[in-house]
Amino acid sequence: MTDMDLNTFLFAFGLTLFAGLSTGIGSAMAFFAKRTNTKFLSSALGFSAGVMIYVSFVEIFFKAREELTQYYNSDSFGMMVTVAAFFGGMLLIALIDRFIPKKENPHEINLIEDMTEEQRKQKIKEKKLMRMGVLTALAITIHNFPEGLATFTAAVADPNLGVAIAVAIAIHNIPEGIAISVPIFYATGSRKKAFKYSFLSGLAEPLGALVGFALLMPFMGPLMFGIIFAAVAGIMVFISFDELLPAAREYGEHHLPVYGLFAGMFVMALSLIVIG
């Protein structure tokens, strides 16, 4: 991996910023729609999962394997390290999920129409909604750190691949914006405050990219690059199967996330052929 110039850095950081701040789109959907468009949300989440799964197994995993095989000058040992890093990435994101209480898990999404007026008034008095929204924002902030590093690293290594991953993660972040903004809005009555929390949680993604990359940059080379890429593939596959697809199925008809999944894979495959 060659030294990173300023243009590459700015491009990668810009993509990561775009992906992170797409939580604001979720906030806007929550504020300006009387009902959540669950069919669109379900299809979009399935599409995002399709992009992530396809690009992880077809592109990122093999890029990692290529780097590690060349570094160790051994196909078998390079493959072993790649597989270990892949499952290590899965373990990392699984541990993050494990230590976030289910009530504050960012993937337990509160839809606009789920709360009756009576429930809203009661929860406003008890200030439970505000607590829920703030804790959800903190949980999403924790989740966004490894996602930010994944987007940034991919964009540095391959700009076209970075764009695809950034778009997929941006779609994934939209319902997280809803999860933050809805309870805070009904707790405070302030769209501005709800949007602010959503916006700040999205900033964790580029912040995670900068912090992670700054810590790893002194060690960056074929070995570290291969390990990071394999771990990124594991993180994205875990997110797809543990978060995106279950959420897509919950909020839409059974076949919609499947259609979205296939569409995401097809678009990703086509884009790799075109840009390849």
The answer to whether 22 and 48 are in contact (CB under 8 A) is: no
Taking the whole predicted model, whether its pTM rises above 0.75 is answered as no
Q: CA 23: distance to chain centroid? A: 10
Among positive and negative, which fits the CA dihedral 207, 97, 22, 132? negative
Mean pLDDT (10-residue bins), the chain, 276 residues: 71 89 78 64 79 85 91 94 95 80 51 53 54 64 74 81 82 75 72 82 84 76 85 86 79 78 86 66
Rounded Cα–Cα distance for residues 262 and 259 (Å)? 5
Residue 35 confidence (pLDDT)? 59
Residue 108 confidence (pLDDT)? 52
Residue 79 confidence (pLDDT)? 96
Residue 75 confidence (pLDDT)? 93
CB burial class (10 A; 0-12, 13-18, 19+) of residue 189? exposed
What size, in residues, is the chain?
276
Rounded Cα–Cα distance for residues 110 and 108 (Å)? 7
Name the one residue in this structure whose structure tokens are 């996330």. Answer: 257
Q: For 73, list phi and psi in degrees, rounded to 5.
A: 55, 40
First-to-last C-alpha distance (Å) of the chain: 19
Residue 23 confidence (pLDDT)? 82
Rounded Cα–Cα distance for residues 206 and 202 (Å)? 8
Contacts of 219 (CB under 8 A, 6+ apart): none
Rounded Cα–Cα distance for residues 160 and 238 (Å)? 22
Angle between helices 61-72 and 75-98 (to 10 degrees): 130
